[in-house]
Structure 1
Amino acid sequence: MQTMILSPGARGLASAATRVLLIVLTLGGCSSQSPRPASPSPDQPIATPELPQPAPYFADGGTGESPLPFFPFEPPSRNPLPTSVQRVTSEGIELTFVLFDARDHRLSVADKEDGPPTEWPTAEAAARSHGALAAINASFFTEEGRPLGLVIEDGRHIGRWNSQSALTSGVVAVEKGPRILRRQHWRSFSPTSHLVQAGPFLVENDTAVDGLENQRPSARSFIVWNGRSGWAFGHTGKATLAGLALALAAQPLSQLNITTALNLDGGRSSDLWVSPLLQGGPLSTRKGWNKPVRNYLLLHRRSES
């Protein structure tokens, strides 16, 4: 075997190359970057973790209808909607609203167990009796004074569930917070403390409902919701249901987008009262021709018992 003898110049080049190689290896070992993973083979793909997606708050229920939007969680940094009376004109209809935020206010139902002529004759009397900041007449009732649909007051069920009338097609339900939903989406096992059936819907998904009555202008009471924590009681002196729906869908309030609006009992029953403690109060829409009603929706501060 012959031994290869390198010249001095070749030995110098080999030594320099060795030093460069050592430097490269050293720097590569000190790199702060993690080695890139090898591409997965078709037979062994790398699993990608899936993030849980929020489920819709209401199931379709087999009706073929889309659930009403509901976004119960708002960023805590967002300032609550100021509680106040707002008067606006929309589509030629004068509207009065009582705006409030469900994060610092709550709703309850006050029902007259012995019928409309008993107990509180006005919205003001009902509110003062319960220490509320505002009150508005709520559900429809029969000629005999019984609720047309189901009413729940402090967990106590009054009347019967009505699945037929357009005047009971919606539900204002108070659980952890208030919400408006179609009657087919409410479940009897829900932990509901207060509830009234009313209707028809005036606005759904920011859009005026089609096919509403458009011939008989009358005083109207209603409740609106932005799908989150923004709410308002509402009253107008004279409007058809179709005209009122268009006026609300035109988004007349700068502080509240009306996603959903539900009609309450109206005509001679329409009665809204606001305490002088609220900005824009006191207010009473009651007229001499108003009649006693069966129940009211009441507005309280959450700090109240």
Structure 2
Amino acid sequence: MVKNLRRLIEQVAKEKNLPEWLVERALRNSIALAVKKSQKIREDVEVQLEDDHIKAYLVRRSKDQTIKLPIDIEPADMDRIAAYAAKEEFLKELERAEEERSYLEFVELEGEIVVGIVRKVQEDGDLLVDLGKVMGVLPKKEQIPKEHYKVGDRLRALLLEVRKRRGKYEIILSRTHPRFLKKLLEAEVPEIKEGYIKVEAIAREPGERAKVLVSSTDSRMDPVGVVVGVRGSKIAPITEELSGERIDVIKKSDSVEELIKRSLAPAPVSAVRLFPEEKRAEVAVPKEKLSLAIGKGGVNVRLASKITGWRIDVYSEEDFEKLTKMT
């Protein structure tokens, strides 16, 4: 009987283009369900396919151990159970296995950009996105705040995670994750994929502003110029994709003082005072550029702090001088 089941596994795996282990698991699950029905068992049942017979076990779990008790099944009953399982429950389990295979294929795409069509806007704002073989979810918190979608819209997003929840697989998408911006940069700037330009860090406030720290492996190559492109030709499509998100590209520096100055672009910085023990910096800018340095709602200085890893306090040049005299 088991030999026949083995042949069935091989045949179905070939026909459905599924791995044999997935087909075997579906068959074992269907037989386990048939055993439970035939013997009116409510607890978990585990099935093993061995050399020339099928073994079934009652599985009891406690906090610190799992006990497996053999289930006594007459050979004639086992034949009937196996036949029933193969005909009835196996088809249902096989459908689940095919669905799982489709989701598992997307595991390899974690961290990559995928394209899909919005099929449903849920009441909580989450989007169900058709990715072809499967559906993905773009949660409200992973959407750029100023964006609004309707059924039929085409969108690009980062495949953030393939996870299993309550026995079902879910594909979680994101348009707010820093890696989404990084993958967009890789698509627009070949030098990043080729290794000439390295993206050192990214800080984002989705839809508002982002700062990208870059370096070059070739001293003759200006990483900022390469990433931005002639007249912004490479960065402009990314800003458009991100609903107007302003992107500041910053060249890495081994000097903390210089890095902090660059991170506050587009505001000019006239002086920096470091407090290494607190990993804090006080920065002076012209009074008329103070609002530019801080940014709307503090976004510019907040992102500068994230990209440098230093807390940055911004002052006008006059207030900076007063603080200097007090210390």
TM-score (norm 1): 0.23
Return the structure number with greater relative CO, CA threshold 8 A, min gap 6: 1
Larger radius of gyration: 1
Comparing both structures, which one devotes a greater share of its residues to helix? 2
TM-score (norm 2): 0.22
